[in-house]
Structure 1
Amino acid sequence: MSFLPVVPMGGYAGWRFLERTIETQKAAHDEAASMKRDTAYFRENIAKVTSAEALVADHRLLSVALGAFGLDDDIGNRFFIQKILSDGTQSDDALANKIADKSYRKLSEAFGFGDLAVPNTQLSDFPDRIIAAYQTRQFEIAVGDQNADMRLALHLTRELGTLASADSGDDTKWYSVMGSEPLREVFETAFGLPDSFAALDIDKQMEVFRTRTERAFGDGEISQFRDPEKMDELLRLFLVRSELAASAAGFSPAQTALTLLSNAAR
């Protein structure tokens, strides 16, 4: 039986509850029978895989590999994933380097089929690293099935802190945020940006993000989110704005009129 996370409420209060209980809940999730079967199979068999072709040929191994990088939906795209893996990342022409979503690059780097004479699947600690990432991502998916905002919040705390601490330049960090659908959604929601915002020129988008970020947090750069307090401020803003948007969507003028008519008829 699969473990169902407990998310009793939305908004910032729901996030604080999840924060307090996450260690216990994640441990229970990782001990679920289906999770243990999948991770045990990966641990026992991944060292036998020495090529991209061999990995994509094993559905169970590929499922864990993709799940560790948030690419679960690509499980049916075997030839595409094989190309990503076999190209590696060192060449400018490598497919992973041409895709905005850097999850594919991370996948290819992690396995090393296209870059290394001996792939990383032969390293003794490789199964544990991939399994830990897989368990984390699958827990986030399970939380998201209960509350989509909580999944975004978990993704934010995992990815944005790492990005903020990276050695890359300020512009590169913003491009990474804009190229990540979950991170972009958090920032767009936190700042109340419309759906049409994504249609703007990419440099104009960065300018708007920086301006709104500086206005809200006193600094326009991603590096500031190394500070846990700044991260918490962003989470609070995102969750409050998301709740307000959901409430507004639930009370359109037509619905309000129907409610008033219904109450008047009583």
Structure 2
Amino acid sequence: MQLSTDSSLLWYKLANSLKDSHMKMFEAQPTVTRDVATFKEKIGDIKSVDDLMKNRTVLTMVMSAFQLESEVGKTAMVRKILTEDPADKDSLVNKLVEPRWAKLASALYGLNSDPDFFQNQSNVDTILAGYKTNEFEKFEGENADGVREALYFKRLAGDVDQLSQIMADPTLMHVVRVSLGLPESFQTLEYSQQRDRLEKQINVEDLKDPEKVEKLIQRFLVYTEINNTDPTSNPILSLFQPISSDKFVGPQPIQIDLFV
């Protein structure tokens, strides 16, 4: 069932307040029920990384559990990451900036030495829970721009201890950048320039405060809706000073404390 709304912020609030009913809608989708059934049927046959690589449906669901489903086609890279010891500093995964690869490698490395890895129900449940969380956030994001990213940020913000964690995660960085009114060209700056600018505007400790996280998310969603709306069709956009470059329409970036 496809639902829609004109307000990203409204849909985000509905996704949180009506999560149980939305989850039932998500789980009732034919593709979801089919894939979950296939996963439960086949996961017991996965005794090695080779077995996993041969089953596209199961592999895709495993990758989705770590928000990496779009990378499932990079078979050589995936195999290398799954078979190398993530504790070895020379492993490929430790040369990648994206933290999701490290989480995948750590979670699945046991499959290399334990053919009964997926006989352990907790390992199966971990994958299924991650898959459902990721796909559910994608499902909500289909209804309104920015909602998937907002739900992801809400889920992970409390685990952020350093600014570098935000900068290494494309989705976290996207939410922060848009919430601050920074154009896409901000990403082309040197790492140190981005870091210095963000340090002036983000107090990482504030991400432990759910109320401050909600404020940031709401700002992100408002700006996302503005950026994706024709300014001539909405009079309220006249209240904002547009940025004429980088395809970004929103408030002119200013030096402020987002969490005041």
Instruction: Specify the TM-score bucket, using the shorter chain as the normaliser.
Output: 0.7 to 0.9
| TM-superposed deviation, 1:91 | 0.5
Structure 2 partner of 1:125: 122
Answering whether residue 171 of structure 2 is matched by residue 182 of structure 1, we say yes
Q: Residue type matched to 2:66 in 1?
A: F
Structure 2, unaligned runs of 5 or more: 239-260
Q: Percent identity?
A: 25
Count of aligned pairs between the two proteins: 233
Structure 1 match to 2:207: 225
CA 250–76 in structure 1, closer or farther in 2 if over 3 Å, else same:
farther
3-state DSSP of counterpart to 1:69: coil
Aligned to 1:263: none
Question: Following the alignment from structure 1 to structure 2, what is the Cα–Cα distance between the partners of residues 232 and 183?
Answer: 14
1:197, CA displacement in angstroms?
A: 1.3
Query: Cα distance 1:58–1:189, how it changes in 2: closer, same or farther (>3 A)?
Result: same
Q: How big is each residue's C-alpha offset from its partner over 1:183-227, in whole Å with a ceiling of 9 and x where there is no partner?
A: 1111110111122211222122122112112xxxxxx22x32221
- Output aligned runs, 1:63-212, within 5 Å: 63-113=60-110, 117-118=113-114, 120-161=117-158, 163-164=159-160, 170=161, 173-212=162-201
Which structure carries more helix by proportion? 1
Which 10-residue stretch deviates more, 131-140 or 195-204?
Answer: 195-204
1:239 aligns with 2:204: no
Deviation at 1:239, TM superposition (A): 1.4
1:92/1:210 Cα in 2 relative to 1: closer, same or farther (>3 Å)?
A: same
Contact 1:42 1:127 in 2 (8 A): no
CA distance in structure 2 between the aligned counterparts of 1:14 and 1:61, rounded to whole angstroms:
31
Q: Does 1:12 align with 2:9?
A: yes
RMSD: 2.2
Compared CA separation, residues 17 and 9, structure 1 to 2 (3 A): farther
- Provide the C-alpha distance between the structure 2 equivalents of 1:11 and 1:142, rounded to a whole number of angstroms: 14
Cα distance between partner residues in 2 of 1:123 and 1:203:
44
User: Which aligned runs of 4 or more in structure 1 are off by greater than 4 angstroms?
Assistant: 248-251
AA in 2 matched with 1:29: F
